[in-house]
Structure 1
Amino acid sequence: MSVSVDPTFVKPGQTQPAEALRPHAEHAFADELAVLAAQDDRPRPARWKLSPWAVATYLLGGTLPDGTAITPKYVGPRRIVEVAVSTLATDRALLLLGVPGTAKTWVSEHLAAAVSGDSTLLVQGTAGTPEEAIRYGWNYAQLLAHGPSRDALVPSPVMRAMGEGATVRVEELTRVPADVQDTLITILSEKTLPIPELGQEVQAVRGFNLIATANDRDRGVNELSSALRRRFNTVVLPLPASVDAEVDIVARRVDQIGRSLELPAVPHGVDEIRRVVTVFRELRDGITADGRTKLKSPSGTLSTAEAISVVTSGLALAAHFGDGVLRPGDLATGILGAVVRDPAADRVVWQEYLETVLRERDGWSDFYRACREVSA
């Protein structure tokens, strides 16, 4: 017999239920944000919850004067974060650009949480995103009953952010149709949103700004017009510079996800995480780590985000169908699925890498056998 459970409806900004599967950043890290706010004595732009220095510390991590440790949310060049934060303190919008899996969405969420205390003002860009998602819509029952009025108007997240002096996020901007993208031009240049039906406009109050993300792989889908691109300060998020940096990122993120899912602790699988990261980096770069062997690259991105997904799935297998220790057999199927996206071309690339690189690598025999078994 199935049991029906009523969903818990939460308004943006409200405290989330204790059992939320994926809490918003401002709730997941509420303690750190509160400590930073209490010890932050630097100037804050209008309506910012923290100073720019404290926002950067929240993202990059550090130790406060009282000894409180702030965990890093982003592992990467400090200057990139400083430029992003300082951009939001001006009247320029911020565009986070990069290949898939470079933490663009993750960084935008944490920036909004630290600056405005609310990361839920969000427009998710898709090929079907309508103009109303950026401007406003209408409650048609009210519209038919009473005609155009402010009561019948349904504000978009962008309109709400303008009125509240908050930070709004637009994810995957280049996925949005070009004519819808261009509705942002007046908002970003004039800081106003006209409502012709009412003969009115909404003016942005101090503190308003916008963070957009865009994918390098989406170039040519819906390119930003030069007029719109000029309204943004673009910050490119790079791939992790080294194996150690990427292993650290994967281990931290998998540990956070694993704790919420009650999976085994990551430290038991750090060696296997390093193997996954090494495989992904070598195939992504088209050359082995020692620089001796050139490789063909598969069609997929093999990003850090995909490595996190493969390891998390492996931990779930180890927890529920093994002894809780992450082993090559728990990862092999996930790696195969990440690498072989095109069954014809990618399978050839993977088999060649498997037999010419992994087979000959010292200490990798168990990993090679597990991958070869699922690839047969």
Structure 2
Amino acid sequence: MTVSVNTAVNGTKDDAGALRADGAEALRPHAEDAFADELKALAAADDRPRPARWRLSPWAVATYLLGGTLPDGTVITPKYVGPRRIVEVAVTTLATDRALLLLGVPGTAKTWVSEHLAAAVSGDSTLLVQGTAGTPEEAIRYGWNYAQLLAHGPSRDALVPSPVMRAMAEGMTARVEELTRIPADVQDTLITILSEKTLPIAELGQEVQGVRGFNLIATANDRDRGVNELSSALRRRFNTVVLPLPESVEAEVDIVSRRVDQLGRSLDLPAVPDGVDEIRRVVTVFRELRDGVTADGRTKVKSPSGTLSTAEAISVVTNGLALSAHFGDGILRPADVAAGILGAVVRDPAADRVVWQEYLEAVVREREGWKDFYRACREVSA
């Protein structure tokens, strides 16, 4: 027997099921809410074939992620800055019966891309399982309302569907974040779901079958190899797309500027253009320490233990903007980002501090136009 899943939302919640105070604005709206106008404009202009239960065609989903201008002049802002082919492969995968695995080092926008893909395909990015070392099997399969279970025994009313079960029943896109952080035996509960497109409910002698439109996006971190590696059986169920680090300084500066601008508007912080020089410095420092060589290729430098990802650069700049807004003149300056850079670079107080001091004296000190930056970094590093 196939069982349907009741997904009615309690009336004390908003349409997405999120509890909020009356009239409160979400600190970080879901992608489908934050970019609702763009998604609506794309849907209106989209005359291409759409897979079952997709809100947009694959072409429109790719346009939503990569940006573009519609015939009516509507500008679609880029959500992902990177190779177009990567996005096209990811979108095409979701239109097949293969699940999608987004793989990459920390800070390569895996979660960001996953959220926006789900928002564009299904109009709902909230069917999410967050992977941790303590994620139980119930988070992927289903759980039970124990009051109902004890009172009446196993029944449909006592069953609590997981996000994956809901996605299967409704033909939606489910998301599993940090798949390799989940214990191996829990990971393997996905094998039947992805291969047979069914989720047995042994206690009821029933099953939930995935309907057309159902698929799953998982993310995994390259640095987590050896933590809970995927079994070969599970890996075969995924089409893997590797998200690379930005190819150039300009590309990374663009990514950081765009994201910081979005975050800044939600936090009432100064505009990004006022601090573009400092953004470029932060990105340059991170890239050189990450790559182990200066941008001109002339000087080799030691790399610290941290990843120094694009996401960390965004965090450093956002925090710097907050400092400049609340304790400065509203313009991003070297002193506003110096402490954030130090915190990102020096994760191991012993080894990383030596790496940072050597980089400051050998590279930053000698770089033309960086004297204020050097002094600010020296001051917080003392």
Task: State whether TM-score is above 0.5.
Answer: yes
What are structure 1's unaligned runs of at least 5 residues? Answer: 1-7
Q: Give 1:9 shift.
A: 3.8
Q: Deviations over 1:142-166 (max 9, x none)?
A: 0011100011000000000000000
* Structure 1 residue corresponding to 2:210, chosen from 201, 204, 210: 204
In structure 2, distance between residues paired with 1:29 and 1:38: 14
Q: Give 1:67 shift.
A: 1.1
1:13–1:118 CA contact under 8 A, matched in 2: no
Secondary structure class of the residue paired with 1:55: helix
- What residue number does 1:99 align with? 105
Secondary structure class of the residue paired with 2:239: strand
Q: Deviations over 1:271-306 (max 9, x none)?
A: 100000000000000000000011100000000000
Secondary structure class of the residue paired with 2:213: coil
* Structure 1 residue corresponding to 2:51, chosen from 45, 50, 61: 45
AA at the equivalent of 1:322: G
- What residue number does 1:293 align with? 299
- What residue number does 2:5 align with? none
Q: Does the alignment pair 1:30 with 2:40?
A: no
- What residue number does 1:335 align with? 341
Q: Deviations over 1:37-80 (max 9, x none)?
A: 00100000000000000000000000111111100000000000
Q: CA RMSD in A?
A: 1.2
* Structure 2 residue corresponding to 1:247, chosen from 250, 253, 260: 253
In structure 1, distance between residues paired with 2:296 and 2:361: 17
Q: Give 1:19 shift.
A: 1.2
Secondary structure class of the residue paired with 1:360: coil
Report how many aligned residue pairs link the two structures: 369
What's the TM-score, normalizing by structure 1? 0.97
What are structure 2's unaligned runs of at least 5 residues? Answer: 1-11
What's the TM-score, normalizing by structure 2? 0.95
AA at the equivalent of 2:259: R
Q: Give 1:11 shift.
A: 5.0
In structure 2, distance between residues paired with 1:99 and 1:346: 20
- What residue number does 1:368 align with? 374
AA at the equivalent of 1:39: A
* Structure 1 residue corresponding to 2:14, chosen from 3, 6, 10: 10
Map residues 313-328 of structure 1 onto 2, 5 A cutoff.
313-328=319-334
Map residues 1-376 of structure 1 onto 2, 5 A cutoff.
9-10=13-14, 12=16, 19-376=25-382
In structure 1, distance between residues paired with 2:73 and 2:319: 35
In structure 2, distance between residues paired with 1:160 and 1:140: 20
Q: Deviations over 1:184-214 (max 9, x none)?
A: 0000000000001000111000000000000
In structure 1, distance between residues paired with 2:371 and 2:18: 51
- What residue number does 1:4 align with? none
Q: Give 1:15 shift.
A: 11
Question: How many percent identity over aligned positions?
Answer: 89
Residues 1:144 and 1:183: Cα distance change in structure 2 (over 3 Å): same
2:168–2:211 CA contact under 8 A, matched in 1: yes
Residues 1:18 and 1:68: Cα distance change in structure 2 (over 3 Å): farther
1:92–1:209 CA contact under 8 A, matched in 2: yes
